[in-house]
Structures are given as structure tokens and as C-alpha cells.
A and B are shown apart, each in its own frame.
Chain A
Amino acid sequence: MMILETERLAITFGGVRAIDGVSISIAAGQVFSIIGPNGSGKTTLFNLVSGIYRPNDGSIRLAGETVTGLAPDQLARRGLSRTFQNLQIFSRMTVLENVMVGRHRHERTGVLADLLHWPTVARQNRATREAALAALGRVSLADAADRPAGSLAYGALKRLEIARALASEPKVLLLDEPAAGCNPIETQDIDHVIRSIVQGGITVVLVEHDMRLVMNISDRVHVLASGRTLTEGTPQEVRSNPAVIEAYLGVHGSQEAGRAFD
């Protein structure tokens, strides 16, 4: 079953076609990576699919339902979640509270009940807390639960965002450069986390620059260049595709790279 599809998606910013007719189909339960040189439109594509930008053209389907133009919170309610390349942590809250916010979709109390602190609210708080702790456990951050979120190391913050997104129990999780700025150990941790997420039945869509992570973990890789699809295939197919090498390194660079293996 195709859990996430785009068809000829396009968006223009002030005359520049940032995404120009991109169509992708992602099967449920996969790890699907989107790669491409800087400026190829990867994060723009993510922003389109997660509802932060509205496309000028094309359509998006989530689990078969057309969701083009829906706002991020509407998409979240349909099972789409994401993390952010530049981290959008709730810095004033603790680590645990950050993840508790991730449970929002599953919380059932209304404003009036909250104001009056009906018994349902205490029960809800407890349930949310437990689920949040479980999510923290999955990214090995459970013992940092009561620390202020701002005090965590960079790599830990990336895992915190993943835990928070996981807490919403999405069908599809978009990870925006989860390994950016991480050292090799932290990247290994991210690798393990992604594997365990997929084992749990969640489809993971990855935008990433770290090629080793991408090649190790992906089922399929989609290459973007200048807002358009260059190619798509298995990691092996993409890795040895000369057009891909050329897109990253340029004509001259790819010639040099070719010579490096002589």
C-alpha cells in the first residue's frame, strides 16, 4: 500500500521553481530517503508534504486520501509527523514535557475540564506522562526526562525531537536531516533509532546528507537536483549512477572522482 504519494508537485518562490513536478510513491513500512546536493529542494519538498508550504501545482496523497493544501495540524491528525533540520524544541519545557506535547493528538480533555481540573484531567496527565516516558525510552533519553530541554547536547536534542514525533503515533515520520551536525557515534544512535521505528510499523522518510547512513538504512533512495527528480532506486543503483555523482560533484568533480578510483 502506498502510504505517501506526490504527483507532479511544484512550488515557485519569487520566480524560482524550487520544486518542479516531483512525483514520488512511498510504500508503507519502508525507509525512503531523499537526497540531493544543496539547494536541490529537499527541505522544500518536506515542507510541502508536511503542509508548511502550499504547492502551486500537483497533489499529495496520504494513505490514499488527497491531502493537498492541508495545514500541518490537519496532517498531523491524519498520521503525519516530522522533525526539523534546525530543531524546533520547546526550550522552556523539560525533556519529558516536550514529548508530552507530542501526545496531544491522543489527549481527550477539553478547556473547561482543564480549567476545573476534573478527575479526567489527572488521569489524562498520568497517561500522557507514561506514554511520553515510553517514547523517551525508545531513544534512550528516559533518564534526562526532568532536565530542561535546552540543557541537552545537540545529538540528544535530535533524538528528543524524534521521541516527540513518535509520541504522536504517526503512520509516516518525516526526518529532516536527523544526523546533521552529529558525530559518528550519534549518527550510529540515529541509525538504531530509525531501525527500531520501522520495526514498529512506521514508515520513515528521510532527508539526509550523510551518505553512509542513507546507504545503510534506506530501502529506496530518491535523488533531487534543482527541484526535479534525477533518479530513484535502491541504494546500490543510486550510488553507482554517474548522473548522481555528477549532480553532487559537478562534471569536473565527477571526472576527478572517476580518476580517483583508477
Chain B
Amino acid sequence: MAELLQFVFSGLTVGAIYALVALGFTLIYKASDIINFAQGEFVMLGGMMTVFGAQAGLPLPVAALIAVILTTAVGLALHRFAVAPARGATPVALIMITIGASIFLRGVAQIVFDKRFHSLPSLFGGDPIKFGGAAILPQSLVVLASATIIVVVLWLFIDRTMLGKAVIATAANRLAARLIGVNTRSIVDFSFAVSAAIGAIAGILITPIALTSYDAGTLLALKGFAAAMLGGIGSAPGAVVGGLIIGMIEAMSAGYFSSNYKDAVAFLIILVVLIFIPQGLFGRAKVERV
């Protein structure tokens, strides 16, 4: 029972990160129909920039803030210089562009930073809290709380503000949105920027637990994407639920079966979802009209 609780907590923690990555995917997908494979790199950049900023002598909060700002700038640049010029390309071409961007960012991170693993100090110290026989890291609670706050803020924003409505409009019908005066280009800019920011924050939060390195982004992107697909791409609640489910299944299979194959869980889920329920848990199946 204690073991199960342990797995649940570690599953929820890592699941919260996947949920944030998935949320980033979903935001960009909703605003522009693009699958952004560089999403994982935003997470990596958040963590790595903070690490190196702190190493350079900056106080940790300042380093973190700068990391988020810089990563947001990278997200904007990605849209402006790589994605927007290719408007009208096939979905596969656009995926290839974001994959190229992901590899490019990884390659640059490898040169600018280094190839080693790095960590950050936890927010409330590293002593685990005992709960029902399980040991929970305080940082886990920070991650869960922060993820919840981000999700709620995002939801309130989309639901309650004009800008949020504009994002929904752009997602629903780009041309129509433009016709009613929405600057769709800025909306997509905005969605990339926010996704990058969310990713960076997620990266900073998880580094004390899971460490970070120049290539940590790829696996995260894939798992976050699996989560988004599981929940139903285009569905924000689906992204969150999908992330938590994948995190839990991963933790359970690592605990009860084999920890070697834990990474395979997400990929198996991608295949299963795509083959049997391509629209995901919360998505709607599309009818093709001829």
C-alpha cells in the first residue's frame, strides 16, 4: 500500500510535467494546427538556463526569471522565423520544421552549455515528507501545486478574457477570426510565447527532481505529445488528464514491471491511441466530406 502510494505520487509529479508540456502542445495546436516538436526544448532551456545563470553568479530567482523570459523569446522566434514563413505547408512539412528546430536547439544547447546532467536546489529543501508510509519530496508538492495554478490561470484566461476568446476564435476558424478583426498572427505569436513560458517554468520546477541535460527535451516532448494525443489533441483538460495518466502508468510499470522499459510506455500509448481512438479521450472524431 505504501509502495502504491509512492508510485502514485511520483507518477503524479512527473505526470504534472507531462501535463504542462501537453498543455503547451495543445495551446499551439489550437491556435495554429501545428504540432510543435520543439516543446520539449522549452522545458530543457528553462532548466539549463537557470542552472547556468546560477553558476554565473546570479541569485536563483533572478536566474529563473531570466530563463523564462529568454525561453519565451525563443518560442516567439521559433514562430516568427521558422513557422510563420512556412504558412501553407503540409502538416508533415510543418512537423519537420519543428523537429528541425528541436534538433537545432539541442545542438546549440550542447555547444553553449555542455553535455552533462545538472540539478537545481529544491525550493523547500530535499528532506522527504512521510505520508502514509510513502516518502514524498517537497519539490513534488511544489510541482503539483504550480501545475495546478498554471492550469487554472490558463483556463480562467481562455474563458474569461477577450484575448482568450480571440485564441478560441483563431483556433475555430482562422479566416473568420481575421474577418472580425482578430490579429491571428499575433495570436499565434502569443500562443508560442505562452507555451514556451509554461515549458520553461515546468523545466525549472522539475530539474531538482529529475535533473536536466541538453537532450532532456526530446523524450519530454514525445511523452507530452503522447499525453496530448491521449487526452485528445486540441483539448486542454484532455492534455492535463492525459499527462497525469501517462505519468501514473509510467511510474506503475517502472515499479511493478521493469524500469528499463518505462520510456516505452508513452510510445506504446501513442500507438494504441492512434490505432484505436485517434481522437483521444476528450476529442471529437472528424467526418471527412468529399
Contacts and interface: CB of A to CB of B under 8 A. Distances in A.
Contacts of B290: 43, 47, 52, 84, 86
Contacts of B287: 13-14
The interface size bin for chain A is under 10
Nearest to B287: A13
Interface string A74-99: 00000000001010000000000000
Interface in B251-290: 287, 290
Interface string A41-56: 0010001000010000
A14 B284 CA distance: 12
Interface string A29-40: 000000000000
Contacts of A52: 290
A47 B288 CA distance: 12
B41 to A, nearest CB: 35
B179 to A, nearest CB: 23
Contacts of A47: 290
A14 B290 CA distance: 17
Nearest to A52: B290
A47 B287 CA distance: 13
Nearest to A14: B287
A23 to B, nearest CB: 23
Nearest to A86: B290
A43 B289 CA distance: 10
A223 B109 CA distance: 67
A43 B290 CA distance: 9
Contacts of A43: 290
A47 B290 CA distance: 8
Contacts of A84: 290
Nearest to B288: A52
Interface in B112-138: none
A210 to B, nearest CB: 21
A43 B287 CA distance: 15
Nearest to A53: B290
Interface in B78-115: none
A31 B287 CA distance: 31
A19 to B, nearest CB: 14
Nearest to A13: B287
A121 B82 CA distance: 45
B73 to A, nearest CB: 40
A13 B288 CA distance: 12
A52 B288 CA distance: 10
A41 to B, nearest CB: 13
Contacts of A86: 290
B288 to A, nearest CB: 9
Interface in A1-47: 13-14, 43, 47
B134 to A, nearest CB: 47
A174 to B, nearest CB: 12
A84 B289 CA distance: 12
B157 to A, nearest CB: 31
A246 B261 CA distance: 68
A52 B290 CA distance: 9
A209 B50 CA distance: 66
Interface of A: 13-14, 43, 47, 52, 84, 86
7 contacts: A13-B287, A14-B287, A43-B290, A47-B290, A52-B290, A84-B290, A86-B290
Top 7 A-B residue pairs of the complex, sorted by shortest distance between their CB atoms: A52-B290, A47-B290, A13-B287, A84-B290, A86-B290, A43-B290, A14-B287
